[in-house]
Structure 1
Amino acid sequence: MKIAVLYGGTSGEREVSLSTGKGIIQALENKGHEVTAVDFSPDRLDQVTALDVDLVFIGLHGRFGEDGRIQGLLDMKGLPYVGSGVLASALAMDKAKSKQIFSLNGLNTAESAAFDVTDESQWSSIEHDIKQQFQVPFVIKPNQEGSTLGLTIVKDEADAGRAVKTAAQSDSMILVEDYVKGREVTVPVMGRRGEEKALPVIEIIPKNDYYDFDSKYQPGGSEHIVPAELPADITAKLQEDAVRAHQLLGCDVYSRVDFIINDKNEPVILEVNTLPGMTPTSLFPDAAQEIGLSYDDLIQSFVDLSQPAYEKKV
C-alpha cells in the first residue's frame, strides 16, 4: 500500500513523535509498503491535502495530532487513516470531559475540577477556590496536554499558585484532581469496533517520584514490568475497564489506557491515549511483544485493522 506517515508536529511532544515516526516508517518499509514521510506542521497543510496515498498513519502526539484536528482535515479530504476519529480523539484529549464520561459510566476516577485560566487576573481567585476544594496533596495540570507536561503534584498549599501558572502556560483550561498514590499501570487495547481486546497489563516503576516526562523518555527513566505482577482479579478488572473506556469514547483500532491502583487495590482510571508512544521501546510494543507480536507485526496489524476505511475509499 501507499502509506503516508505524519510525525513530528509542533507540540511539546515533538521529539517523542519524531522517534515514533521513525519507528513506524521503518516497520512499514520492512513490510513492503511505499512510505511517504511528512514532518507535519499546521503552517504547511498543503503537505497533507496534496497527498495521494491509500492510507495515512498518524504518528503525532499532543496538539494538532491527538486532539482531533488532523483527523478532521483528513476526513474532509477523504483520506482514510489509522486510529480514532475526530470525536474520540477530542474527548480523550480533554481530560475533564473524558473523566465525566468515565464517572457517569461507573469507572473509578479521582475527584477533580476544571478551571478556565484564560484571564490571568482571575488566577488568584482560582488559587483560592482550589485551596477551598482540595486538600494536599493534589495535582494541577493542563486539561489538554500529554506526557505530563505542565503537571505539578502540589504537596504544600503555598505552591498552588505557581502550579496554576505552570499549567496555564500550556492550556487555557487546567484540571485539578486528588492525588492518588499507588501503583502506576497501563493497558493497551486494540481491535475492530466491538471486538477490542486488552493486551497484557504493564506496571510502570518510575525512577522519579512519579511517571514524569523524563521517566517516560530518558534512557533508564523507568522500569516496565510485563505482565504486571497482580492478582488475577485485578488484572481482569483493569483489562475490562480499559476496553470499556476505549469503547465509551468511541476509539478505533488502538489506544492505551492509564490507571493508578490505589491503596484499596482499586483501579483508578487516569486517561486514554489515542495515539500512544509507538517507538520500538514504548509501552504498547512492550505489551505486544509479550504475546508474540513483534514491533513490525504490530504496526502491520494496525494497518490491517484500518482496512475497512481503506476499502470504503476505493
Structure 2
Amino acid sequence: MVMPTVAVLAGGLSHERDVSLRSGRRLSAALREQGLTVEEWDTDAGLLDRLRSERPDAAVVALHGGQGENGSVQTVLEMLKVPYVGTSSRGCRRAWDKPTAKAVLSAAGYATPDWVVLPHSTFRELGAQGVLDAIVDHLGLPLILKPDQGGSALGAQVVRDAAELPAAMVGCFAYGDTVLAERLVEGVEVAVAVVERDGEPEALPAVEIVPESGVYDYTSRYTAGLTDFFAPARLPEESAKAVGELAVAAHKLLGLRDISRTDAIVSADGTVQFLEVNSSPGLTETSTVPMAIETAGTSLGAVFADLVARAIRRSA
C-alpha cells in the first residue's frame, strides 16, 4: 500500500513562530514513525507555488497564531482543494477571537469568567485612567488581561493591584490592538484535548497545569521544569467528567474539526469555567495535547495518521 505524502505546515511570521516550528518537527517525526512520507513546509511566499507543483495528499496545519489560526491558511488550502487536518476556515475564525468563543459558550449556558473587551482607541479617545477605573469598578480585582486574539499566553498579564493596571495594559497592547479584561478565577487549571474518532469528538483525559510562578504564561508553557503537569488531572470524578463535557461542547458549538484543546478552571466550589479554545494546539515537548494522547493510551503519530486518513476521505 502506498502511504500518503503529508505536508506539515509550520513556522509562519507570527509571534509564535518558534513554538510552531517545534510543534511541526515533533509532529513530522511522529508521522514518519507511522510510515508516512512527510515534508516540513514553512508558510512563506513560496507556499502557494509549492502546494500547486508538489501537491501533497494532505496537509497538517501546525501553525500557531496569526494566519495559522485565524483561518487564512485554511482558506488557501480550501481554495486549492488540498485536504488538510484541522478546523475549517470559518471555525478557526470563531475560535481565534476569544470574546466570540466566550460569548458562544456563555449563550449555551456554560460558565465563563465575566469580561469586557476594549480597543486601544477607546483608551486614547476617552482617557486611559478613566477607562481603567471603570474596568476595576465593573469587574473588580484580581484581573487577567490578554489580547483578544492570539495564543501561547503572549501578552497575558495578571493584575492584583489597580496600580499595576496601566503597565499591564501597555504590555498587552504590544501583542494586539484590543484587550480582553477578564475576572481572574482561582482554582485548578486544566487543558482538555478533543479528538474526533469515527466522526465524533471525544475528550481525552484532562491535564492539570501547576506553574511554578503561579501564572501559566509563555515562559511557563515552553520552558521545561517551570510547570508541573498531572495527567490525568487530580480532579474528582464529577469534575473530570464536567471538563470533558465542556471541551466537547466547545468543539461542537464553535464548529471545530479533527482536534482542539479547551482551557478551563475548576474553582473551589467545583464550578467549571471556560477560558478559551485552541483550534491548532501546541505539540511541543511541554504541550498538554501530547500528554493527554499518551495518557489515553495511544501516540501522537497514531492519532494524526488517523486524522490524515480522515482528511483524505473527507475530500473525496
Pick the TM interval, shorter chain: over 0.9
Would you say the 8 A contact 1:193–1:253 is kept in 2? no
Counterpart selection for 1:110 from 78, 92, 113: 113
| Secondary structure at the counterpart of residue 306 of structure 1 | helix
Would you say the 8 A contact 1:191–1:305 is kept in 2? no
> Is 1:191 paired with 2:196?
yes
CA deviation after TM superposition for structure 1 residue 79, in Å? 1.0
1:1-314 to structure 2, matched below 5 A, reads: 1-41=4-44, 45-48=48-51, 50-118=53-121, 121-122=124-125, 124=128, 125-192=130-197, 195-310=200-315, 312=316
Partner Cα separation in structure 1 for residue 285 and residue 225 of structure 2: 15
Would you say the 8 A contact 1:42–1:64 is kept in 2? no
Q: 1:161 to 1:247 in 2, by over 3 A?
A: same
TM-score, normalised with respect to structure 2:
0.93
CA deviation after TM superposition for structure 1 residue 58, in Å? 0.7
Letter in 2 for 1:103: S
Q: Deviations over 1:184-232 (max 9, x none)?
A: 1111101158611111111111111211111111011211111112111
Partner Cα separation in structure 2 for residue 188 and residue 305 of structure 1: 18
Letter in 2 for 1:154: V
CA deviation after TM superposition for structure 1 residue 110, in Å? 0.3
User: Which has the larger displacement, 158-167 or 173-182?
Assistant: 158-167
Partner Cα separation in structure 2 for residue 35 and residue 247 of structure 1: 30
TM-score, normalised with respect to structure 1:
0.93
Q: 1:118 to 1:30 in 2, by over 3 A?
A: farther
Would you say the 8 A contact 1:143–1:175 is kept in 2? yes
| Secondary structure at the counterpart of residue 117 of structure 2 | strand
Q: Deviations over 1:246-283 (max 9, x none)?
A: 10001001101110111211110111111111125521
Would you say the 8 A contact 2:262–2:278 is kept in 1? yes
| Secondary structure at the counterpart of residue 171 of structure 1 | coil
Partner Cα separation in structure 2 for residue 284 and residue 227 of structure 1: 12
CA deviation after TM superposition for structure 1 residue 89, in Å? 0.8
Partner Cα separation in structure 1 for residue 197 and residue 35 of structure 2: 23
Q: Deviations over 1:49-95 (max 9, x none)?
A: 54411111111101110111111111111111101011111111100
Partner Cα separation in structure 2 for residue 96 and residue 230 of structure 1: 27
Partner Cα separation in structure 1 for residue 137 and residue 178 of structure 2: 19
Q: Deviations over 1:114-135 (max 9, x none)?
A: 1111466236153243233221
User: Which has the larger displacement, 251-260 or 277-286?
Assistant: 277-286
Q: 1:294 to 1:168 in 2, by over 3 A?
A: same
Would you say the 8 A contact 1:184–1:260 is kept in 2? yes
Q: 1:60 to 1:265 in 2, by over 3 A?
A: same
Q: 1:300 to 1:156 in 2, by over 3 A?
A: same
Q: Deviations over 1:274-310 (max 9, x none)?
A: 1111125521111111122023212212223323334
Q: 1:174 to 1:79 in 2, by over 3 A?
A: same
Partner Cα separation in structure 1 for residue 46 and residue 187 of structure 2: 42
Letter in 1 for 2:148: N
| Secondary structure at the counterpart of residue 106 of structure 1 | coil
Would you say the 8 A contact 1:140–1:177 is kept in 2? yes
Would you say the 8 A contact 2:222–2:286 is kept in 1? no
Letter in 1 for 2:220: S
Would you say the 8 A contact 1:81–1:309 is kept in 2? no
Where structure 1 has 5 or more consecutive residues not aligned to the other structure, the ranges are none
CA deviation after TM superposition for structure 1 residue 30, in Å? 2.0
User: Which has the larger displacement, 125-134 or 63-72?
Assistant: 125-134
Would you say the 8 A contact 2:221–2:286 is kept in 1? no
Where structure 2 has 5 or more consecutive residues not aligned to the other structure, the ranges are none
Identical aligned pairs, as a percentage?
Answer: 34
